[in-house]
Structure 1
């Protein structure tokens, strides 16, 4: 699905459009192009499985919420990390009413020249970070993860890092000029929790309420890009 307002197109059901009309954003036709030595998925930035309801879940399938992602990286390393973070949010990021309240920010570092269809940049690296107030420990907690956008190699994993580590890594990336700051200082200056992670926080997308699929026994799909279907619901068995 596309965002019609970016193309000045009105009255489109489900934001679908003829592939020849799209000029200001990616289209499905771009993802149909074959890349040598790399199978590409439509990789979600805000995960479908994090959505609190069906309407929000559906909204994650716009092509402005995805980037070209190496298929095995998307389905193995990145998926495993998303599931791990999702589980943490359901236990460590509950407000006084028992509802999930967290800030999650995900970004993609553009490659220098690697593109789909000569127009859609294939990121060289993806990163994500979250921050929330742990009402039990009465402190801000945070975590950051990142990985190269390449085909999966056995043993690849995305270990947890502090926000300070993330800021340093992003500041060292040539595409990012100057210092990088994802979250407000009140999170970054938070007290460390018992895992040694720094409490560091953020003004990202605020999501409250239960995440979809919580407590389900759904097996993960292996398709990677089916429209309007959560590709990789976390296996919680």
Structure 2
């Protein structure tokens, strides 16, 4: 084997980190595959201190998250719906690069960062939620935006267990009506879909947990754009108040109007215009 090729192989193998969650400058240039027509939502949802994260694990991207550093919750996560059998992971990960791009690209356990990278919990928690923030909650639990059950295997499911994909969600809603939507409604609605693109998000609220560190969203919402074939597409959406065990089914256009009103900025567009709004 030529020496140069051997060196290149060694370099490439050394780059196979356990997992990566890369903070990037834009989804379009880094992980556009999770968005219909490679078009992310417009900037009407963008927070004051955003981070664009291509959520990568075991050297592969699995979804994309727009993260709100100051409120320490995701704005939305985008992924392809590909459910499969499997168990629920138990590992929780954090995003080192939210502290700065000089930190590892790997999604890591808190313990690993604190013990091997000389990072303090204070440093880690400045721009993201940490496990301590979600302890001793009453009536709330860790709610996935991108749910592990919408992925086909243990690796892709583990990738969703990042605190950058989690919000404080009403306990009854998370285990009740929202779970029914994720497991039953999605399965029913996607039966004739060749590909289903999902964008699921949280509207910031006025309340916080963890002594004001982590925002409790006022609403949780989800939207889907399904490609039936090359010429036919359909869409649907839901929204739920984050203190009631109720989910309201909407058209995509209706959800965009509701979010436009809730955010009070410019018109919200969650998908490319080729996705039907009715």
Task: Please say whether Structure 1 and Structure 2 have the same fold, judged by a TM-score greater than 0.5.
Answer: yes
Q: Runs of 5+ in structure 2 lacking a partner? A: 1-92, 115-120
1:163 to 249, 252, 255: 252
Quick check: which one's strand share is greater? 2
| Larger proportion of helix | 2
Select the residue among 244, 261, 264 that pairs with 1:172. Answer: 261
Distance in 2 between residues matched to 1:86 and 1:143, nearest whole Å: 10
Residue 87 (structure 1) aligned to one of 187, 190, 193: 187
Which residue number corresponds to residue 123 of structure 1? 217
Question: Quick one: distance in 2 between partners of 1:118 and 1:88?
Answer: 39
Which of 118, 129, 143 is 1:43 aligned to? 143
Match of 2:233 in 1: 140
1:130–1:49 distance in 2 versus 1, CA, 3 Å? same
Contact 2:219 2:241 (C-alpha < 8 Å) held by counterparts: yes
Find the partner of 2:206 among 112, 119, 122: 112
TM-score normalised by the chain length of structure 1: 0.67
Residues in 2 aligned to 1:83 and 1:115: alpha-carbon distance in whole angstroms: 28
- The aligned counterpart of 1:4 is 96
Alignment of 1:1-237 (within 5 A): 1-8=93-100, 9-10=103-104, 14-17=108-111, 18=114, 19-22=121-124, 23-34=126-137, 38-88=138-188, 90-94=190-194, 101-135=195-229, 138-152=231-245, 156=246, 158-173=247-262, 175-188=263-276, 198=278
Moved over 6 A (4+): none
Root-mean-square deviation over aligned CA pairs: 2.3
How many matched pairs? 175
Structure 1 unaligned residues grouped into runs of 5+: 95-100, 190-197, 199-237
Q: 1:53 to 1:89 in 2, by over 3 A?
A: farther
8 Å contact from structure 2 (residues 97, 105) kept in 1: no
Instruction: Deviation per CA, 1:2-49: give whole Å up to 9, x if none.
Output: 111112444978432444442210001001144xxx422110011100
Deviations, residues 144-172 of structure 1 (Å, cap 9, x unaligned):
000000153xxx3x232111111111111
